Structure 1
């Protein structure tokens, strides 16, 4: 049997503890306390930046104050694009657990299928935040807020509005749901229109709700307004006429350009078909292209006055120089070139009036390739225009070193080179007044680009006389006659080049001209192109000239120019 030992008589207590051990324990406790105190001082006073930063990461947020996007205005200050406050609805998937009844009501208000809405709210893997609908009006947002569904929130944003809709959408372009420009002027002037967001530092709780503001608020800087040279009334009228012509002629598309001949300002750029910038889901990408600016085509006979001007400027001929075009067919360098009839012997003036291809080939033969190339280059052919629009086409003009003789011949009547409708209208500014080409531009308050001398004043005057005979006073293009105003112009009809082959039955119809032609300086230039008319008529004088007639007369009236003549309307002649 083991003898019991009381606690007070324990031999362990009788053993004397070394002094150094107790001192060691005290030292350890003292060091630990010192370290804790030092760490507390470090965290609170010396090295607190790191911990403050970590706290900010978890609870402090920088909230952007969206600036108001700048307006796009026409030349008279009328609004073409503007922004207005709108509400957007979003949800926190962790919080949003609506009942089936609430889900049905919310889906109906948002015009979303209830099953789709339920799926979007339950997809937690995609994150907590989800947009339900962007840019709704305030009354609808109030109805949604009145449901008081947990986890459903609203945010103030800005929605873009386009008062002229499809009539100018290919010029103005559009911005996306985030307010960033995607096409047209909206894209080209994104930095000026967008402005700079304001900043606000806030504290948020674990549910993401703002509980306090931290620091000073930085106010947003709204975007700047952009004023265009476009006249919205002329633009709308031109769009209406070009759309009517496309439908009437069963064409694929159509475009029209209206320029101020004295300054180069673009007054209208219209294309059809177009698109509604607020309903892009039902529009094709092709409809968003500003065809008059970004696409180029062979201009056909519309280039003949410009080629004739080159020969006159180079003093290769006079207006009365004669050319034998008999018998209406010419074999040139192995190629067959023909006129619509046997015109016989023609003067240089009559070549333009009759629109003789053979005559233009013989005119081109008088010029060296480098001379003709230089004159065409001065007219802007083959060079990208410096207009304030993204993707503007420069057309195509091969260097003269690479020309074959037949290419120089065909370029004299508009084949073998290409240019946009805007380039063609711009080239005619060299005819409209003193012989200087005035580059087209779109900004109202910008400094006009430097003009370029192409023709002498005498040559420009002679060319105006030639296109007056061809476009206004002559028999061939009598459809271009405009009551009250003298006009001059040139039609063109080209076969379309598809897969390297010129197609029979597939045409582009052109007309470009100016008015009033009786003045020393024409005021307005209008260029029209109809692509693939299929209602029977396809000549430019029959399809494009009537639109020219309507647009140029209405433009002159709207700009306050008084009629300079009275044209008696009689029986109209066809090509």
Structure 2
């Protein structure tokens, strides 16, 4: 005690002692805190909210995603409709700091030469390319070439890579191949990358079958885990952990490629000649409900996406419309089946007053007093109103429900609309009997027509035949004939079939133009008014939806063909004559299937498969095109082909034009006699801004033939009908 008193009497020693004790206590306390923190980190494996175990794994483990292969889409015979592919985006390094591993320049050394060579393969002029290669920001490392430098095919990529241009590189991206070009495009759909700039990105369906079955087609991604050092190099003999991917299923559609290709040709012909706002063509197997062909206009190319802006939906299920007089097939069926049909009863045709509204026949003067048996054949609206009145609105509505009008069919396509029936007013009830005041989609109508074809049994339309596991080859799901109801008796169906035949054979029938020699066709024609946004209906000769529904043969149908055409802008022929340009040759094709080899060959020769002409000499290519009975158009003065439209593998009608871009100076061809479609090919392959005036075929061009067009501004092309 006395020792401590002495110690504290010495002020200096006392201060040293106190400081020492404080340091000792602080050190001990810090050590305890450190131990606590260390114990906590050891047990929780976290620091500052960061999972240290995961952080270490990230540093010393490399996880690679193993993409599953997207399933293929096939036709009914296993021919490819859609499959996995690869596209390329091109970019150029412009920073002089970039070197290869060998120390050589890895940037664009000669901009003039690079621009000149790239202009042969990209739809950009050398001047435009030089502008891209000379960015305003002098510190910029690399440049891209806008939309023209994206989505390049493997063929174009290889051609550019072969030039060995310093600083020119490519990004490989997953894509989807559609080898048939325009082929039930809106029904099949297309895909897009989930991340357009990620080479390891998945792709997803955004329309049609690609969208509806996206999960099945996508499969399941896997992953591969490897051990790496601080520099990211894989450690030798390290354990590799791998989770296998599961490839997507292959989907077989009911489409028949031969019939589908021919349908596309017929549709394109109508589109070019008559320019309808909408066109739909469907072929259904009457026995099974299988859709063997389906197309629409406008449509788009699923590879280039050309035309997509005007065709961003599948109108076959996503559009609803008033069907017009083809609805009379159901009205006659309901009248007969309900026991209210009196075929010999006379009625006054022309016009009739219903609920304060005047309803008229297409021939408003009428045909005087005629029997009800002629109402269907003549397509008399007044006659159908008479049948609806005799049945009563309640009975008629019951039959529409039996035919599932106003209900979705449930076909395996996204976005199907249910349609609706306007039935509040007496006049609306009467108008539904001839296909106005009722909205449907085309699949609904096909389903309803199938009851007449199958002895009263109604068959659901099918677009998918089966789903197959690509690993085992086993069918995991198959789609069989699906009877969804029996709205009418078999005896009723027979009477309606006979009535449809008389539309073609009677001299007062509205479908005489659809008579196909040697084929017993039964049809019903349709002319539906189009509702006006301002109320009421549009007026004018072309402001209708014209249609024809046919059964082949009428008395035991194998096929149902349904064609609709909305507002043809160039109605140079009667609407039924226009539709017969689709219906009649299509019927001939259908009945010729499976017959003699000679006939089968003739049927198949209606379209031409485009060969690859890239890297071929210009003269040899022109000879090949002539041998294929196609027309040609050459852009440039070179002796070798560097681009072509349509692309190889696509199928076109005979006498269509292939446009070639050569490796010489880009010169203006003589466009005289070219169709508007040909001019659009010219604009696409050159990347030039082309304005068209008029319709038909080229009679004048603002840039003279032979003039170099690399630096040209807008090109104006004038067309006239022949």
CA contact (8 A) 1:493 1:538 kept: no
| d(CA) in 2 for partners of 1:291, 1:481 | 28
Tell me the equivalent position of 2:701.
none
| d(CA) in 2 for partners of 1:31, 1:145 | 73
| d(CA) in 2 for partners of 1:376, 1:474 | 31
| d(CA) in 2 for partners of 1:168, 1:378 | 30
Q: Residues 67 and 353 from structure 1, CA distance in 2 versus in 1: closer, same or farther, beyond 3 angstroms? A: same
Q: Residues 421 and 36 from structure 1, CA distance in 2 versus in 1: closer, same or farther, beyond 3 angstroms? A: closer
**445-454 or 68-77, larger mean C-alpha shift:** 445-454
Matching of residue 429 in structure 1 with residue 429 in structure 2: no
Matching of residue 493 in structure 1 with residue 493 in structure 2: no
Coordinate RMSD, CA, aligned: 4.0
Matching of residue 290 in structure 1 with residue 314 in structure 2: yes
Q: Which among 534, 540, 551 is matched to residue 514 of structure 1?
A: 551
Matching of residue 462 in structure 1 with residue 462 in structure 2: no
| d(CA) in 1 for partners of 2:82, 2:368 | 56
SS at match of 1:479: helix
SS at match of 1:549: helix
Matching of residue 365 in structure 1 with residue 389 in structure 2: yes
Tell me the equivalent position of 1:566.
none
Tell me the equivalent position of 2:485.
452
Matching of residue 143 in structure 1 with residue 180 in structure 2: no
Matching of residue 77 in structure 1 with residue 78 in structure 2: yes
| d(CA) in 2 for partners of 1:237, 1:410 | 36
Q: Residues 65 and 418 from structure 1, CA distance in 2 versus in 1: closer, same or farther, beyond 3 angstroms? A: same
SS at match of 2:447: helix
Q: Residues 314 and 539 from structure 1, CA distance in 2 versus in 1: closer, same or farther, beyond 3 angstroms? A: farther
Q: Residues 167 and 450 from structure 1, CA distance in 2 versus in 1: closer, same or farther, beyond 3 angstroms? A: same
Q: Residues 497 and 23 from structure 1, CA distance in 2 versus in 1: closer, same or farther, beyond 3 angstroms? A: closer
Q: Report matched runs for 1:68-107 at 5 Å.
A: 68-85=69-86, 99-101=107-109
| d(CA) in 2 for partners of 1:533, 1:268 | 22
| d(CA) in 2 for partners of 1:508, 1:457 | 31
What is the CA-CA distance between 1:66 and the residue it aligns to?
A: 1.6
Q: Residues 325 and 545 from structure 1, CA distance in 2 versus in 1: closer, same or farther, beyond 3 angstroms? A: farther
Per-residue Cα deviation, 1:185-209 (whole angstroms, up to 9, x for no partner):
11111101111112123567888x6
CA contact (8 A) 2:108 2:114 kept: no
CA contact (8 A) 1:430 1:437 kept: yes
Tell me the equivalent position of 1:218.
243
What is the CA-CA distance between 1:136 and the residue it aligns to?
A: 5.1
Q: Which among 512, 528, 537 is matched to residue 502 of structure 1?
A: 537
SS at match of 1:365: helix
Matching of residue 163 in structure 1 with residue 179 in structure 2: yes
CA contact (8 A) 1:73 1:226 kept: yes
Q: Which among 440, 444, 454 is matched to residue 461 of structure 2?
A: 440
Tell me the equivalent position of 2:267.
242
CA contact (8 A) 1:166 1:276 kept: yes
| d(CA) in 2 for partners of 1:37, 1:337 | 95
What is the TM-score of this pair, normalised by structure 2? 0.65
Q: Which among 354, 362, 385 is matched to residue 409 of structure 2?
A: 385
CA contact (8 A) 1:255 1:530 kept: yes
Q: Report matched runs for 1:284-433 at 5 Å.
A: 284-318=308-342, 320-326=343-349, 328-339=350-361, 340=363, 341-398=365-422, 400=423, 402=424, 404-433=425-454
Per-residue Cα deviation, 1:519-558 (whole angstroms, up to 9, x for no partner):
xx31100000111124446765333234222212212322
What is the CA-CA distance between 1:451 and the residue it aligns to?
A: 2.6
Matching of residue 531 in structure 1 with residue 566 in structure 2: yes
What is the CA-CA distance between 1:455 and the residue it aligns to?
A: 0.7
What is the CA-CA distance between 1:353 and the residue it aligns to?
A: 1.0
What is the CA-CA distance between 1:413 and the residue it aligns to?
A: 1.2
Tell me the equivalent position of 1:9.
none
What is the CA-CA distance between 1:278 and the residue it aligns to?
A: 1.3
| d(CA) in 2 for partners of 1:346, 1:60 | 87
Bigger proportion of residues as helix: 1
What is the CA-CA distance between 1:223 and the residue it aligns to?
A: 1.0
What is the TM-score of this pair, normalised by structure 1? 0.81
| d(CA) in 2 for partners of 1:79, 1:475 | 46
CA contact (8 A) 1:256 1:421 kept: no
What is the CA-CA distance between 1:425 and the residue it aligns to?
A: 2.2
Gapped regions of structure 1 (runs ≥ 5): 1-14, 564-575
Q: Residues 233 and 491 from structure 1, CA distance in 2 versus in 1: closer, same or farther, beyond 3 angstroms? A: same
**90-99 or 523-532, larger mean C-alpha shift:** 90-99
Question: How many residues end up aligned between the 2 structures?
Answer: 535
CA contact (8 A) 1:353 1:474 kept: no
CA contact (8 A) 1:91 1:153 kept: yes
Matching of residue 274 in structure 1 with residue 267 in structure 2: no
CA contact (8 A) 1:311 1:317 kept: yes
SS at match of 2:258: helix
CA contact (8 A) 2:266 2:581 kept: no
| d(CA) in 1 for partners of 2:155, 2:90 | 11
| d(CA) in 2 for partners of 1:243, 1:136 | 25
**179-188 or 550-559, larger mean C-alpha shift:** 550-559
Q: Residues 252 and 91 from structure 1, CA distance in 2 versus in 1: closer, same or farther, beyond 3 angstroms? A: same
What is the CA-CA distance between 1:182 and the residue it aligns to?
A: 0.9
CA contact (8 A) 1:322 1:345 kept: no
Gapped regions of structure 2 (runs ≥ 5): 1-11, 100-105, 195-202, 467-478, 600-722
Larger RCO (CA within 8 A; separation ≥ 6): 1
CA contact (8 A) 1:239 1:272 kept: no
What is the CA-CA distance between 1:215 and the residue it aligns to?
A: 3.9
Matching of residue 67 in structure 1 with residue 104 in structure 2: no
